Amino acid sequence: MDASKAIIETVDRLRQRRTAPLILELDLTEGVTEGPPADPLSAVLSMRRARLTDLLSGLRRAAADSRVKALVVKVGGRPLGLGTVQELRAAITRFRSSGKLTVAFAESFGEFGAGTVPYYLATAAERVYLQPSGDLGLTGIAMEQRFLRGALGKVGVEYQLGQRHEYKTAADMFTQERMTEPHRESLTRIAGSVTEQIVSAVAASRRLDVATVRGLIDQGPFIGAEAVEHGLVDRLAYRDEVYDEVLAAAGEGAHLQFVSRYARGALAKRLPRPGEPVVALVHGSGPIRLGRSGRGPFGGGGSMGSDTICAALRAARRDEHVKAVVFRVDSPGGSYVASDAVWREVVLTRETGKPVIVSMGDVAASGGYFVSMAADVIVAQPGTLTGSIGVLGGKPVVGGLLDRLGVGVETVREGANAGMFSTAEAFSESQWERVNAWLDRIYDDFVTKVAEGRGLDRDRAHELAKGRVWTGADAHGGGLVDELGGLTDALALARKKARLPQDATVRVYPRLNPLERLRPPESSEDRSAALARVRLEAWGPLAGLATTLGLPAYGPLQLPGTWTIS
């Protein structure tokens, strides 16, 4: 009898839990991943990080779910890129517009540090709470550039670098002692554009005047009590106080669930329909290189391999059930040749009549723009960093350093230019001419394809190019981007262009079953040839240091340095 009673009570509790009010939690402290893991190592390393697609779909569904009563957003921890922040901010705002309670909570918006972007994300919620010991680092936007020419010269290292054109400023780090005017102009406009976006959004969310918010930025950072006084934060409260308030508002029996779990549960309930028309989603993240996508074994970011992306686009193009393709690009660029291979597959996919929509993430610049420019429509966030239509190339010359260290170098050559890429000596005059011919050819090809893909006059395309980085908002004004929005908007646009219902299924490509993942590919046309791999030769956690030291990177179409707006 006792056993039967226990079973009945358990069933009753489960039934009540399925019908009880639900409070969703959006915990962003571990960061967000762009798409599904590309390899087993990536899966392990990203176990505790939610997928952006799950969060977006979960919040969209929850807005119409009568069981969901509230959303709690935990802000802080691992920094998020501005494009990702704007993507999430838009999703939270849409959920808030359904009339349901939204609360953002942080222990601190920057603990003795910058907190402008995390706070900007939090203001999408109706209420913003801050731990009593926390601070609000609303200090604006700063973009810092360091110059190594003086230090490198002292140890006998010089750089021979060519760039197309004056705004392609990666070379400046090694060849200049301070910002050039074009460099300063570009960064000043990026900082100004981002500040305009943040100020207007915070002012609207907090019901403050734009001029007031701009003035408060110049007064920050703020102690918690000051943030409440200025209307930037609603209340100082600890986590337990915040959750007690939300639970009480949600009603008796309310319980918590992560947005990502809620989204996956909803997906599991939807039975697939064989032969249904779908939208293919192809993810391209990280520096672009020839070969397959992959990552280093000790961490570091993954790479976008041309073989992987091209195979994914081919698979989507040849699948009769795929009616449109969304290509999600989050990349600072890299190899020109690899970028061109991906560009070609985008063109071929369009030629089949299937719409190709590019959705840009935090960064889609240089090679990241190259792979995007042939799409039917390019969608970017206002804060996406894009453009950088240009090229650079050259090498460090370490002969002076080797002399100081007592290291001798001798070379045996067969061919006048056999050793031209050695870092032990400078380019000769004829070799430098070949380098510049190479740079001119790449730049001309890049700008010509921009003009063709974007429907621009070539002179206009050149004016927008010159290596200059634009925010998505400014790129939209110049015609380099078609629409402002995020992945949700790109998917909706793809469904509309393909004349599919608004809830048409989205499938990630390449779509492989377990058997295909285990067996070796039969040919380069086989879908399993697109599988990513762990790259033992990658720099891993030393990638940033390698870039700073001028060690070989991914290619001539890469956005210089680390571009994070925080």
Closest CA to 162 of 152, 154, 170, 153: 170
In single-letter form, the type of residue at position 512 comes to: L
258: which strand partners?
Answer: 25
Q: Which residue has the tokens 């993430």?
A: 361
Give CA separation, 269 vs 262, 264, 265, in Å.
Answer: 11, 9, 7
Amino acid of residue 425 = E
Distance CA 468, CA 563 (A): 14
The one catalytic residue among 69, 74, 100, 168: 168
Tokens encoding 446: 């890049």
Is 306 noted as a catalytic residue in this protein? no
Which element (helix H / strand E) includes 278?
strand 278-285
- The span from the CA of 322 to the CA of 320, in Å, is 5
DSSP secondary-structure letter at 529? G
Rg (CA), the chain: 26
Indicate which residue of 335, 366, 372, 388 is catalytic.
366
Three-state secondary structure readout of 90-134:
HHHHHHHCCCCEEEEEECCECCCCCCHHHHHHHCCCCEEEECCCC
Is 490:56 a contact under the CB 8 Å cutoff? Answer: no
CB 17 within 8 A of CB 254: no
Neighbours of 459 (CB within 10 A): 9
By DSSP bridging, strand 222-223 and strand 135-136 are antiparallel
98 beta partners: none
* Cα separation values, 275 from 71, 147, 317, 335, 491, Å: 36, 57, 16, 37, 20
Give the span between the Cα atoms of 33 and 51, in whole angstroms: 5
E strand or H helix that includes residue 343: helix 336-351
Known catalytic membership, residue 395: no
**Are 138 and 115 within 8 A, CB to CB?**
yes
Residues annotated as part of the active site? 168, 366
